[in-house]
Structure 1
Amino acid sequence: MRASFALFVMAASFLLASCTQEQQNKISRSVQNWTGTNGVLEIYSGDKLVRRFIHIDKMTTASATEGGSARPYRFGYGILDENLNMVTDPGEKKVYFEVSDYGTNYVFFESPR
């Protein structure tokens, strides 16, 4: 049993080492998408925080329906934190959101809580 596990670890290490950085990033993202992330998205207007979404599993880059190229926005689902206190309060619900790559100042990070 240990020998087969060691062989599996060695094979996986070899495969990862032979991948390009972009392929490694895709593998990492797919594992993270599978396991989920307790993400937070903050949207700023200048230096002022104007919106916060919490408990985001993932943000996805939109793809064109034909050709497969990326579109200039990202989308996801999260709790709209209306009072910006990083807690899901009564009445705050899960919503769909989109953020544009054009002129939108936003930060996405894993929740520290």
Structure 2
Amino acid sequence: MKRLVTFSLLALSLSGCTQEIQNKISRSVQNWTGTDGVLDIISDGKVMYRFIKIDKLTTGSATGQGGSGESRAYRFGYGVMDKNFNLVADDDEKKVYFEISDFATNYVFYENPN
């Protein structure tokens, strides 16, 4: 019964939040629980680069006057560059920072199926 009341209170409090606030809460929970994301960078129908062990992709935000925080047209994150495309972080593959543009890049981000 206590769990039901707690869940009901949580649901009621979230229903009063804007969609943006709900998304931020969802992302923070996802970051807390962790994920095993894979990012494929595609050109001419072929995977050119693959990053694995990604916990999140973050949208760039403007930091200009007034602190508007507007979204920018790129994503960034940290992941292991999977040189041999085997979905495993091998000893010679290191974690790197990456950025991808929404304008010039085709990419697919998904959970590692292994």
What is the 5 A alignment of 1:61-100? 61-66=59-64, 67-100=68-101
Aligned length: 111
Q: Match for residue 8 of structure 2? A: 10
Unmatched 5+ residue regions in structure 2? none
The two structures have a TM-score, normalised by structure 2, of 0.87
Tell me by how many angstroms 1:32 deviates. 0.4
* Bigger Cα displacement from structure 2, 40-49 vs 14-23: 14-23
Tell me by how many angstroms 1:21 deviates. 4.1
Tell me by how many angstroms 1:34 deviates. 1.7
Q: Deviations over 1:1-57 (max 9, x none)?
A: x53x43221111212334444443332112101211110000000200100000001
Unmatched 5+ residue regions in structure 1? none
Q: Match for residue 40 of structure 1? A: 38
1:30 aligned partner, one-letter code: S
Between the aligned partners of 2:20 and 2:72, the Cα distance in structure 1 is 19
* Bigger Cα displacement from structure 2, 38-47 vs 19-28: 19-28
Q: Match for residue 58 of structure 1? A: 56
Q: Deviations over 1:48-78 (max 9, x none)?
A: 0100000001111111112211111110000
Moved over 4 A (4+): none
The two structures have a TM-score, normalised by structure 1, of 0.88
Aligned-residue CA RMSD (Å): 1.6
Between the aligned partners of 1:90 and 1:23, the Cα distance in structure 2 is 40
SS in structure 1 of the partner of residue 35 of structure 2: coil
Q: Percent identity?
A: 59
SS in structure 2 of the partner of residue 89 of structure 1: coil
2:70 aligned partner, one-letter code: S
